[in-house]
Amino acid sequence: MNEDVLNMEIRKFLKKVGISSQREIEKALQAAIDSGKLQGNEQVAVSIRLEMPDAGLVHTLDESISLE
């Protein structure tokens, strides 16, 4: 295994995850605010699950995002 290649591939993957996740979170929050489901001053729970079946990895991260 080439550590340099692996490092770059992981960074590319995480960049894609970060960018696409941010867009989806922003869209979902705006839609919830527009529909009245959220007011825009809450803290909302957020969870992400990372899976790599070939390596037996399952990692879950639970956090909250403050909207104000």
Evaluated on CA atoms 49, 51, 56, 57, the torsion sign reads negative
Domain of 28? 3-66
pTM of the model: 0.87
Average pLDDT over the chain reads: 97
How much is the pLDDT for 34? 98
Residue 2, Cβ neighbours under 10 Å: how many? 8
How much is the pLDDT for 61? 98
Q: What is the pLDDT of residues 12-44, one digit of tens each?
A: 999 999 999 999 999 999 999 999 999 999 999
Alpha-carbon gap, residue 11 to 56, rounded angstroms: 20
DSSP assignments along 47-67, one per residue:
EEEEEEGGGTEEEEEEEEEE-
Q: What is the pLDDT of residues 51-62, one digit of tens each?
A: 999 999 999 999
Q: Work out how many domains the chain is built from and give that number.
A: 1
Mean pLDDT of 3-15: 98
